[in-house]
Amino acid sequence: MEDHIVFHRDSAVLDLLDQRKLPDSEERFLCRTTADVITALQVMVVRGAPAIGVSAAFGCAIALRESAGPDWREKLRKNLAHLRAARPTAVNLAWAVDHMTALWERNASLGPEDLMKLFISEAETMRRADIASCMAIGRFGLPCVHDNDVILTHCNAGALATAGYGTALGVVRAAFENRKNIRVIADETRPFLQGARLTAWELQRDGIPMTVACDNACASLMSRGFVSLCVVGADRIAANGDFANKIGTSGVAILAKHYGIPVYTLGPTSTIDMNCPDGAHIPIELRDGDEIKNLWYEKPMALPEVKCFNPSFDVTDHELLTGIVTEKGICYPPFNESLAALFKDKK
Ligand code: MRU
């Protein structure tokens, strides 16, 4: 699936599959302005670190189209800054906007029309590169999956969360395509239910055997020997291997360590933030508490006056991780060395 993020060149409209409506209906959400793109990111029409990055790259073209007039440079700078700040945890957002800004700086003499062409073609390149990265992650991660594995995943790190194919679900897809006999347990992933709504939808479409379980069934499943491997995505991987992912991921990893089950996080190198020394430095998005009690129900699930605490991500300690699978290969502990080695050619 690659048509969940479409950019219409002529009209400069970003056309997104509205992930809030899945699995019931496949509706599109059109972004014509920077504010529309920011809304789409914040209400999670599009979500998942690499998908956020690619959408933001197209968002830069929309920001440019919107910044017409003699002071277009100043307006563009402002729009890009707003876009960059839409969500704090997934580093791919800042990475994509910074990448486009650097491209603009290298081509500072271009007028808006030519810059627009450059932005669109760069965003398309980033989209293709993300799909290629996910396929490579699937290939590199394949040896981590064994025949008869029961693979637990948390949240949605699939095609919907990327430009296509997925990271954690990329390796699941690769294993399935390679005829490994596997089964997936998708945590429901409260409160946004990315597992129950999105991961289950993707796997069902591909015919990959899958069961949805409550988040709090994890200990029970592991203690009874029903899970043999955990694969999750990442929103930001720090230089020491600590990583932020959907709230609940660290609990999965702590339990997996207790029961001796391997845990891998999988993500493109655009998700690695070498400027972030460790998990304590990763900004964690705090979302509206109403999501917990109101989001999917006709009536509030707790008294209306009850306050809810809703951090959207948590940090998993690198000591709980077996490996980090990227498009350049698998990093093993000590992660500060293996991650640094991925970037050494770039210095
Ligand atoms: O709040 P979300 O749905 O954007 O959070 C998504 C996740 O935590 C994913 O696991 C992560 O972005 C990796 S996606 C390949």
Residue range 316-331: mean pLDDT, rounded: 98
User: Region 204-223: what's the mean pLDDT?
Assistant: 98
Q: How confident is the model at residue 298 (pLDDT cuts 50, 70, 90)?
A: confident
Average the pLDDT over 301-323 and give the result.
96
Atom of ligand 1 nearest to the CA of 245: 8
Average pLDDT estimate for 116-121: 98
Mean pLDDT over 1-8 rounds to: 91
> Is a pLDDT exceeding 90 seen at residue 78?
yes
pLDDT digits (tens, 9 = 90+) for 183-192: 999 999 999 9
* Tokens representing residue 209 in the block: 């055997």
- Tokens 């699939």 locate to 158
Residues taking part in catalysis: 235
Say how many residues make up the chain. Answer: 347
215/252 Cα distance (integer angstroms): 9
Note the pLDDT of residue 296. Answer: 86
**Does the structure show a pLDDT above 60 at 347?**
no
For ligand 1, say whether the CB of 47 is within 6 Å of any of its atoms. yes
Which residues pair with residue 151 across a beta bridge?
184, 229
Residue nearest to atom 13 of ligand 1 (CA): 233
Give the pLDDT band of residue 1 (cuts 50, 70, 90).
confident
Task: Name the DSSP letter for residue 279.
Answer: G
Quote the CA–CA distance of 148 and 224 in Å, as a whole number.
16
Ligand 1 pocket residue status of 76, Cβ below 6 Å: no
Residue 11 confidence (pLDDT):
93
Strand 183-187 relative to strand 236-238, pairing: unpaired
Tell me which amino acid residue 266 is. Answer: L
pLDDT of residue 295: 86
Q: Is 260 exposed, middle or buried (0-12, 13-18, 19+ CB in 10 A)?
A: exposed
Residue with CA nearest ligand 1 atom 6:
48
Q: To which residue do tokens 């030519």 refer?
A: 114
Quote the strand ranges of the chain, DSSP E: 5-8, 13-17, 28-31, 150-153, 183-187, 210-213, 229-232, 236-238, 243-246, 263-266, 272-273, 313-316, 323-326, 329-331
What is the value of pTM for the model shown?
0.95
**266 alpha carbon – ligand 1 mean position (Å):** 11
State both tokens at 338.
């293996």
Residue 260 pLDDT more than 80? yes
- 15-31 confidence digits (pLDDT tens): 999 999 999 999 999 99
* Cα–Cα dist 290/100, whole Å: 35
Q: What is the mean pLDDT of residues 62-69?
A: 94
CB–CB of 5/51 below 8 Å?
Answer: yes
CA of 197 from ligand 1 middle (Å) equals 13
DSSP code per residue over 173-205: HHHHHTT---EEEEE--TTTTIIIIIIHHHHHH
- Answer yes or no: is pLDDT of 127 > 60: yes
pLDDT higher than 80, residue 229: yes
5 CB-side CA count, 13 A: 31
Cα separations (Å) of 65 from 113, 115, 209, 264?
A: 9, 10, 45, 41
**In this model, does residue 346 exceed pLDDT 80?**
no
To the nearest whole number, what is the mean pLDDT of the chain? 96
pLDDT band at 208 (very low <50, low <70, confident <90, very high): very high
Which pLDDT score, from 0 to 100, does residue 19 have?
98
Q: What's the pLDDT at 263?
A: 98
Q: Would you say the CB of residue 161 lies under 6 angstroms from ligand 1?
A: yes
**pLDDT, mean of residues 254-269:** 98
